[in-house]
Structure 1
């Protein structure tokens, strides 16, 4: 726990003392009030240039190989700016917001076409590119909301339809199905066929097999293709110096930082004089 002084000289002495502890071969955490910040965005007012204290603090963090936990938010100074903090050091997989995916089976619904048509007919301000981006964002938001509220999960709807079919077929086998029940049975068969077709399209889209047609069956092969691609898009770890395999997020972060610091170096190491472009021959209009 650190409570740094407001004076630059005292802070430098503290950073030097803490820097001597950076050689210990065990994880360590520094918390407290450093009376300095690493970036202007950490100040409520923003737009503040880094002063000598902040530059000295940033140099200490870099020399010690520390990693900023990037706490977001500000303590309420109206009550106290020294309130207790609770730090949870358990490693959890970061939640990544899923990107928008246009499902091809949506094209079977008239409402999907209606949403797209209404979106592009709506007025949008700004230049043409701004209007285009506005329409894209509006259409994405509308389609996502419609899919969530009106369509839902294809797998869950197919499971419910199959359960309903089983009950209706049992009644039909026992001669207990009424005329209305028979109509419900036909409707359930049609709904089952439509949902199976949509599920086929969904997995074909995820498998990214261009030669496959929508008429192919929803087989285990396409599930494996889609699952394999999803696993291939993940990076479970990296190989660092000495061919050492690293999976710990902190180690991976430090390895990337060290690599690019060594690659880029300082400005003095990569300062280049501007080279003049060679004189290239030109083509006159007469020659054309």
Structure 2
């Protein structure tokens, strides 16, 4: 049976051209070079593992050293951390493979151990590829009667994720990642959690839950590819309009070449130059206020109107909103598609069909008497808008965004 599972993993490795594989609950005490090469699909593989306790637990990580150069490994009973350099971008990565125990006490001990591990290594990009044997809400489990235990477990798990400053990346495919052989209980136990720096580098990160075959868990593919959707639409930020030089700058750039480059001064400034520097300092403050306004508008935070800007908070809000609004792909004829051109063509096809009507024979309403409006009401409906009505409509619009079609 194990050879069949290894062959299935090798097939996925070759199909998706993965750079790193993390396996949980291997139920194996040690792995040889031959076994890892057989699972990986070729001889160019490095690996490390955490042995199982008899037939319980066990972890295995495999990677290609030409892509990910591992220089440090940290092992615990329930986790295996790889620290190394992602060669393509010269980035320091922390990859943590986790298989949590089923009891709540054991989970909390593991959470605390991982919290201390991350706190002692604040730099770098973090990614947790985990089977925590925990759910985040009751929507992630069906068929279980132990709802009260699940609720208590979920609260602690969500608090730990918040305290770790990591977040679950967008997922598509199956909602549940594990099920009993008879299908009576299904849960979402496996997930990918990443740090904010990870999402800043790879904002299009997503996890695809594939169909399971020989295992009771579904395999998950973590993707970090940047998708090119073409030119982005131009947007005007309201902070630009508050700058007195805005119209002049737009006109100059539109009509001529924008002058690039910066100068530097290494001497004693004259009195006029000191005044100029003070003026520039004042302009810097104005630009800072404009930047705060820009962040406020992008983050869509309406309740924060005055005071200091919490830049880190704004950036997290912007990135979170941008990440979850990103379209990673769609199903076309039950096939997951991520190519932008195919998605755009399908969207055009969908809306074209919605707004295209076949020729139908419609019943007539001859002889049906309808209530009619009076002549005065008819004139009021086509009367020009008054200045008061226009002012009320404009003044009712939010100052940080464009009015909608309503």
Q: Could you state the TM-score of these two structures normalised by the residue count of structure 2? A: 0.27
Q: Could you state the TM-score of these two structures normalised by the residue count of structure 1? A: 0.36
- Which has the larger Rg? 1
Identify the structure with the greater strand proportion: 2
Identify the structure with the greater helix proportion: 1
